[in-house]
Structure 1
């Protein structure tokens, strides 16, 4: 499960395209800046899923492109038994941003998925799009060609959102092993929230409409299955959400009983997003951070700020290494050297797949010895979630004070970068950006540690540390703190959301006074 927000450039304050969101993964996460690469003739890459996936499959080799793009990504280690490492997209050197969002296919399609299945999985598609696409439209064409040629390995249906400075695209990949996929263009005057990803009315003659793409069988297969009948349904289009998908999970769910699920109605979230028009970068940062969905399930936070009049090297991904509700964003331009990411923000063994099955390789000991940024910000989330009415506004205020400083320094930093390029000082220009990213990432970590120390101290002083309840079976002697720690129900979700705190969506920066005055539980 994931969430994605698209805002076209005609609806933003500065004429940029904005694409934000995150993925839901029970996994370790880290930052990767993958360099541009050249690959020898005959190079291949392995794609698909193994026999251990929920819908078993087999891995296959497909040809690698001669050249692959540089891109920035949040990388993670586990989802549904798919082979790690995984990615949901990010931002590449051509200013193409990508988001991966779940989109459940109707049960009949899931049931007819062959085993073993084969073809690229959702992460393979996102990675290859980042590696090869020069536009959002081309990202969809690449995904479509891959599915048409090699098939598609699924966990039950998925989607992607892509954007560049001109437009966006949503593409849905359906379960079933039939090679079904469809895509819809999002114009510069549109917004889209994928939560889950969806397409409604899709023209029957889509091949003659530049705003749509799809597999050759996307219409005919629905007719053959009896899921769409041109004689009784609308003859010119089919509603793909009704025909191939499932009802939005939030439909009919009480916000009071299950607020997290009730939020998953994309059209309601789109109305909220439209109420923010013209949308600024700060609005999108606050929206992705919104505690209604940013919680322990949020693996990271990303906002791609794709501007029309800057060099591609300055297109920027604002990235929070784990859930943005208690993690600062740091702007990472494409110009950043891959080695600028501090080891604290790279892979560690906390929540990493297979890390409990063997000892650490000495090759990774220095990297593992550093403070893991994800773990530090998770600590802040866990402490804050215990008493959000007391601490969340304070934490948010401190984080957004820090981010506002980063926003304020962008203009001067980028002017200096361009000046160095004009003087043909290319290495110096790259070093300027890279040093800034390295330092700001470390500063964000120090801020997180400072906030955690403050919230922990106040929690101990005012409330004490709540200990787990006993869940053992009769006859077992294991104490509560040594029992299974895995959440089994939605009621066990770690979240900082409290409906008494504010009305969401809320403006960026409204808690600054809480931070400056060191006050808790009140809006500044």
Structure 2
């Protein structure tokens, strides 16, 4: 059952701050890491490699397409594994023009998947996501760029895909279809709209879309459907993109349950939840992305962009990033003006494709030696989600309180940076933003480690470490702890993987049920004191022990000499 990713869009007229909100994550089991990619110039004739290899489920062929002379700065979460699609892969992020992007699964109808030619060529979903970040100045322009690329070079598919782009004024849903026919469609989302892509979808679509400023599509979008007999204009039915080219939503209308094969995967139902939130705050959107109904072991990260039209400087645009599933990782705000992330948040070999088959390059030894923020957060997830009824509430309170502390400070550092920008001192502004985010990122890692130690100690004291309830096959002498740890064959990953869902979100309900709750800074444990104590060398006890040792040694020598004389 597909469940690859999710995205939430809230138009600016529906938010507390008047900013557009875009949040979500990618659903991939491989490693993820944060990167700030600088603006770059490229020599004439530069190209980029796009597409997929023959190892993809729908085999492809890598080709080169031209790179533009200059690419924009952007913040993104990379990951390392999708069969046949070369890493690093990305689902989007935020660029220096305050264009935010999410990439979301959107299955094409089976006939289109069957039509996809072997050796397909053209940009894949990740190529399109990265190119949008590199080139787009607005959400509308992102759609125009991607549509033009598909029209010129084709599209390499895994079975259908979508993107959700947003800027301070509007959003756009873009869907690229399987089949090798260059089919794509795009729909504008305005300031009063909400949208949940889970999967990405577009409904009723004007046949004369070329003359409609709120819609775009490939030249053959309608004609191909008519040729295939999938839509007949004489029937009087609207041209519904989802019905014509997509598949039915895997979830069902109304309230899902954890027993469903595709729990919660019905976008219109989730869109009604967003409307019930009333004026949506940044904290509401962070909580929606963190909601335990979908933030789980396959959630590669969490991202929330608050896209403001009245920024004091463009480099104050901000992306809040959880380094892995936000259910057990804190959001850290990174401004476009920031220049680096701590190596602890960069690439590590934990869950990285191919790591188990190769030795580490010495060039990456120091980077790999740092703590992996992803690994630490995953440890917290596995302990917390093993007994969420015991631990999830405390973990959530700690992270929401921690984020409230950052929200209390972020305005001050942005004001300092804005003053530096106005004074013409951009390097100082960028240093302020970099240092501030990196400091909080390291504090977030220390807090997560503190919570891991706490939950681990409580688990061992109250319950012990639960043994896997797995029987070794007949004749196998290895214990259950040494067998394959993957989800068993026949499992439904959308339902059966590690998760903290207590039936309808948290113990006190969904994001809607928790509307109005705010993080309490006082709920954050004193992890800083614990960290200092753990990392400080015990000079006083060691000094005392050394003095005592020397005194005892001297006394022993004295008596030894007396006995000798």
TM, length-normalised to structure 1: 0.96
Larger Rg: 2
Q: Please, which runs of 5 or more residues in structure 1 have no aligned partner?
A: 519-524
| Counterpart in the other structure of 2:303 | 302
Which moved further from structure 2: 259-268 or 448-457?
259-268
| Counterpart in the other structure of 1:250 | 251
Say if 2:417 is the partner of 1:417: yes
| CA apart distance, 1:258 | 2.6
| Counterpart in the other structure of 2:355 | 355
| Counterpart in the other structure of 2:334 | 332
Kindly provide the CA deviation profile for residues 285-308 of structure 1, in whole angstroms up to 9, marking residues without a partner as x.
111000000000100000011111
- The residue correspondences of 1:88-487 to structure 2 (distance < 5 A) are 88-234=91-237, 237-251=238-252, 255-256=256-257, 258-259=259-260, 261-310=262-311, 311-337=313-339, 340-487=340-487
Instruction: Return the alpha-carbon distance in structure 2 between the equivalents of residues 47 and 360 of structure 1.
Output: 26
Contact 2:257 2:503 in 1 (8 A): no
| CA apart distance, 1:478 | 2.2
| Counterpart in the other structure of 1:502 | 508
Q: Label 1:38 to 1:508 Cα distance change in 2 as closer, same or farther (>3 A).
A: farther
Kindly provide the CA deviation profile for residues 95-143 of structure 1, in whole angstroms up to 9, marking residues without a partner as x.
0000000000111111110001111000000000000000000000011
| CA apart distance, 1:515 | 3.6
Kindly provide the CA deviation profile for residues 3-25 of structure 1, in whole angstroms up to 9, marking residues without a partner as x.
00001111111110100000000
| CA apart distance, 1:474 | 1.7
Contact 1:397 1:514 in 2 (8 A): no
Secondary structure, aligned partner of 1:193: strand
Instruction: Return the alpha-carbon distance in structure 1 between the equivalents of residues 43 and 521 of structure 2.
Output: 56
Kindly provide the CA deviation profile for residues 225-244 of structure 1, in whole angstroms up to 9, marking residues without a partner as x.
1110111142xx41111111
Instruction: Return the alpha-carbon distance in structure 1 between the equivalents of residues 426 and 318 of structure 2.
Output: 18
Secondary structure, aligned partner of 1:219: helix
| CA apart distance, 1:362 | 0.6
Secondary structure, aligned partner of 1:474: coil
Contact 1:393 1:511 in 2 (8 A): no
Instruction: Return the alpha-carbon distance in structure 2 between the equivalents of residues 167 and 254 of structure 1.
Output: 29
Instruction: Return the alpha-carbon distance in structure 2 between the equivalents of residues 252 and 8 of structure 1.
Output: 23
Contact 1:112 1:177 in 2 (8 A): yes
Contact 1:253 1:261 in 2 (8 A): no
Q: Label 1:291 to 1:465 Cα distance change in 2 as closer, same or farther (>3 A).
A: same
Kindly provide the CA deviation profile for residues 152-207 of structure 1, in whole angstroms up to 9, marking residues without a partner as x.
11111000000000100000110010100000000011010000000000110000
Contact 2:316 2:414 in 1 (8 A): yes
Instruction: Return the alpha-carbon distance in structure 1 between the equivalents of residues 222 and 509 of structure 2.
Output: 42
Say if 2:49 is the partner of 1:46: yes
Tell me the C-alpha RMSD between the 2 structures.
Answer: 1.6
Q: Label 1:354 to 1:508 Cα distance change in 2 as closer, same or farther (>3 A).
A: farther
Instruction: Return the alpha-carbon distance in structure 2 between the equivalents of residues 260 and 312 of structure 1.
Output: 44
Secondary structure, aligned partner of 2:13: helix
| CA apart distance, 1:512 | 4.1
Instruction: Return the alpha-carbon distance in structure 1 between the equivalents of residues 49 and 76 of structure 2.
Output: 19
Kindly provide the CA deviation profile for residues 402-453 of structure 1, in whole angstroms up to 9, marking residues without a partner as x.
1001111111111111111222222111100010011111010000000010
| CA apart distance, 1:473 | 2.3
TM, length-normalised to structure 2: 0.89
| CA apart distance, 1:224 | 0.7
Q: Label 1:50 to 1:7 Cα distance change in 2 as closer, same or farther (>3 A).
A: same
Secondary structure, aligned partner of 1:304: strand
| CA apart distance, 1:511 | 6.8
Q: Label 1:167 to 1:367 Cα distance change in 2 as closer, same or farther (>3 A).
A: same
- The residue correspondences of 1:4-43 to structure 2 (distance < 5 A) are 4-43=7-46
Instruction: Return the alpha-carbon distance in structure 2 between the equivalents of residues 374 and 471 of structure 1.
Output: 30
Secondary structure, aligned partner of 1:231: helix
Q: Please, which runs of 5 or more residues in structure 2 have no aligned partner?
A: 527-565
Kindly provide the CA deviation profile for residues 320-376 of structure 1, in whole angstroms up to 9, marking residues without a partner as x.
010000100000010001xx3111100000010110111101110000011100000
Instruction: Return the alpha-carbon distance in structure 2 between the equivalents of residues 494 and 483 of structure 1.
Output: 18
Q: Label 1:106 to 1:398 Cα distance change in 2 as closer, same or farther (>3 A).
A: same
Instruction: Return the alpha-carbon distance in structure 1 between the equivalents of residues 447 and 497 of structure 2.
Output: 25
| CA apart distance, 1:255 | 3.4
Secondary structure, aligned partner of 1:22: strand
Contact 2:283 2:518 in 1 (8 A): no
